[in-house]
Amino acid sequence: MEIVRNADGTLVVPVSPDRHHDTDDTADASSADDGEATPADPAPTTRLLHAGEGGYDEALAEWDLQQNPNRAPVVSTATGRQEAMTVVHAVATSSDHAVALAVEALDDPEASGEALRHVLVGGVHSVEAFAAEVAEAEGGDPLPAHEATKIIGEVLAELDR
């Protein structure tokens, strides 16, 4: 099952069911009349992750990889990172959260996307450092990591359109 990104930025991720080891008592109780155990095969479940929850950054990076599994490993360039900071700041400070307009203003959308993917691959500490770098370069207070991650996901989704 693949990770699904909803329009609000939440992610539906597959969760493997817990494995239960039978004890002698439960194995005896679940045995069929013919003496063979009848294994329970629970269906896979899903979990809804919001930006800021544990595992969200990793799931978002995995979702992004699912969009283009043949993509080469991400590489961040100086110009790509600068544009990535600019687009995240533009979306964060936009009164109407205009992701499409901010993406259209990019000179090198591919390099910006690679830089944002590079941030996600680094996990939550990388996102926090990126948010601080955005604040230093663009002004204002650093975004909370969950907000920065959500904006990064929205920008990547727009870039993939």
**Residue 45: DSSP 8-state:** E
What are the tens digits of pLDDT across the range 80-136? Answer: 999 999 999 999 998 888 899 999 999 999 999 999 998 988 888 899 999 999 999
Q: Is 87 in the same domain as 11?
A: no
- Determine the structural domain holding residue 32 and report its residue range: 4-49
Q: Is 60 in the same domain as 136?
A: yes
The CA distance from 62 to 123, in Å, is 11
* The pLDDT value given to residue 18: 67
The CA distance from 40 to 42, in Å, is 6
Q: Is 37 in the same domain as 108?
A: no
* The pLDDT value given to residue 85: 94
* The pLDDT value given to residue 40: 58
Q: Is 22 in the same domain as 82?
A: no
Q: Is 84 in the same domain as 124?
A: yes
Biggest CA–CA distance in the chain, Å, is 73
The residue type of 6 is N
Non-local (6+) Cβ contacts of 43 within 8 A are: 17
Q: Is 39 in the same domain as 63?
A: no
How many structural domains is the chain composed of? 2
Q: Is 154 in the same domain as 131?
A: yes
Q: Is 67 in the same domain as 24?
A: no
Angle between helices 78-93 and 124-138 (to 10 degrees): 80
Task: Evaluate if residue 62 carries a pLDDT over 80.
Answer: yes
Q: Which of 145, 144, 141 minimizes the C-alpha distance to 123?
A: 145
* The pLDDT value given to residue 161: 83
Q: Is 45 in the same domain as 65?
A: no
Task: Note if the pTM is more than 0.85.
Answer: no
What are the tens digits of pLDDT across the range 21-44? Answer: 666 555 555 555 555 555 555 656
Give the CA radius of gyration of the chain: 21
If one counts every other C-beta atom within 10 angstroms of the C-beta of residue 17, the result is: 11
